Amino acid sequence: MKKYVGNQTVKFASPPSITAAAAIVGPKEGEGPLRNCFDFISPDVHFGMDSWEKAESEMVRQTVHLAVKKSGIPIEEIRYMFAGDLLNQIAGSTFGMRSFGRPFFGLFGACSAIGEGMALGAMLLDGGFANHVAVNASSHYCSAEKTFRLPLELGTQRAPTAGWTVTGSGAVVLSAEGNGPYVTAATTGAITDMGITDANNMGAAMAPAAAAVLAAHFKDMQRTPGYYDAIITGDLGKIGTTLLHTLMDEEKFSIHDRHNDCGLLMYDCEAQDVHAGGSGCGCAASVFAAHLLEELRSGAIKRLLFIPTGALHSVATLQQGESMPAIAHAVAVEV
């Protein structure tokens, strides 16, 4: 049975159900507006470990363990696990997942990872290849700064356009059957590169990718933005959000009145001094698992379009003068 529509979208025949989710974050995230939504707020960024990379892996392990525990599904019935993060060779994910002993697909989509994993996981469920899958995405402020920018010890001043990498991990357990909310459609993004080279302005690099996948979704599904109660991007932050609104107006799919961004939901940007807002794979993942899913469950949102966004550069590509390609994936979740 053909389940694809238009150019980039799949519409699920038996929409997979979100059975459980968990979100674990660091102390700064625990001081933000969503402080009452997370499953666990670590009192420090170490998670009991002696390195930031190990801390991220431990956070991943705890988050996936908790999501599976909340689902009530025995771990050996989780058919596949998907995970992605920002570290070189996605070490946060692989080391975090290595103790589970379940078939594993490692992903790299930068901060779009939770969207990539939810889309693939839902396809595997709807396709009859699994009964249950778990998907995780994570980031850690300290390990990300070390990987991409400058040693934290320098205390370098941050650019006003820069985002703040979320220390957080979000996991969802999807099942072939259940009581919802349901993943009803997924639009997979193509790589978009508008020539942005300023690594301190990732919102600008990612906004065109978000706009492209949103436009593709509306065209493929023959919907307007009004179909959704909420359209929530991953981590565009303030600057990327402004750009996205302009780009969507140009596409004749205005989203101002129902759009928000996980990077803006995560922090009180002024009071918490995070400049452009939150970023990192863990931003969209933990905001979805802790907050958006609860909004769906409570009925505050009935139809959500969730669009995690990622910038696909590395330190080497930036040093070689390359621009920053970006990608975004749109996942429709409905009650």
Site residues, a copy of itself (CB under 8 A):
1-4, 7-8, 10, 13, 51, 53-54, 76, 79-80, 84, 86-91, 94-95, 97-98, 100-110, 116, 120, 123-124, 126-130, 147, 188-191, 193, 312-317, 320, 322, 325, 327
Question: Which is nearer to a copy of itself, 154 or 316 (by Cβ)?
Answer: 316
Question: Which is nearer to a copy of itself, 165 or 241 (by Cβ)?
Answer: 165
| Smallest distance from a copy of itself to CB 168, Å | 19
Burial of 287 (0-12, 13-18, 19+ CB in 10 A): buried
| Smallest distance from a copy of itself to CB 299, Å | 30
Query: Do 105 and 80 touch, CB atoms closer than 8 A?
Result: yes
Burial of 317 (0-12, 13-18, 19+ CB in 10 A): middle
Query: Do 281 and 60 touch, CB atoms closer than 8 A?
Result: no
Query: Do 286 and 169 touch, CB atoms closer than 8 A?
Result: yes
Question: Which is nearer to a copy of itself, 84 or 181 (by Cβ)?
Answer: 84
| Smallest distance from a copy of itself to CB 317, Å | 5
Residue whose token pair is 């529509």: 5
Question: Which is nearer to a copy of itself, 105 or 227 (by Cβ)?
Answer: 105
Question: Which is nearer to a copy of itself, 91 or 335 (by Cβ)?
Answer: 91
CA-nearest of 69, 72, 61 to 104 is: 61
| Smallest distance from a copy of itself to CB 190, Å | 5
| Smallest distance from a copy of itself to CB 134, Å | 13
Question: Which is nearer to a copy of itself, 220 or 334 (by Cβ)?
Answer: 220
Q: Quick one: tokens of 241?
A: 């959000």
Three-class DSSP category at 252: coil
| Smallest distance from a copy of itself to CB 219, Å | 14
Instruction: State the first-to-last Cα distance of the chain, in angstroms, to the nearest integer.
Output: 24
